[in-house]
Amino acid sequence: EKLKQQLGKINSNTRHTMESISDIVWSMHPDNEHMPRVLSRMNEFAATTLEAAGIDYSFSFEDSIPKIVLSPQKRRDLYLIFKEGINNIAKYSNATKASIRFDKTKEMLMMHIEDNGCGFDVSKGSAGNGLRNMQQRAIRNAGTCRIDSILAKGTTIDISIPYA
């Protein structure tokens, strides 16, 4: 039984490592610098993850978003922030609905992720590194990450990063 548990952990860690390598390779490929490919990959990830958890979701963006070009570092960090947010909804929120929206200003790309789940006390933080990593990735790209959550109401994640 103990061996089974250890093998399961090794399998999970290996899958996670392979997924991380795949994300890095994808983000560095020049064909993926335009937002239509980024949005498509994000939508596929949301569909796979949220639908498996029984969560209805919407995915939308302004018409001008596909014209944005992001550097490999920004593309990678934006995608990893997105994945963390979606994974958190699927694993911890007990949500039935989620909304993902992209907007922009003259200088900033904004990502808004919202769920109607159980929420959590933001001031208490969490045991993992996910929320901290989201903050650090946004800051590393001269952006901001704001996480608001209300118990029994849900959580909202707002990311802004300069795209120019």
Q: To the nearest whole number, what is the mean pLDDT of the chain?
A: 90
What is the per-residue pLDDT across 124-145, written as a single tens digit (0 to 9) for each? 866 568 899 999 999 999 999 9
Alpha-carbon distances of 70 from 38, 43, 164, rounded to whole Å: 9, 17, 8
| Segment 19-75, tens digit of pLDDT | 777 767 776 776 767 788 889 989 999 999 999 999 999 999 999 999 998 888 898
- pLDDT for 17 equals 81
H-type alpha helices, 66-161: 72-88, 130-140
CB 163 within 8 A of CB 74: yes
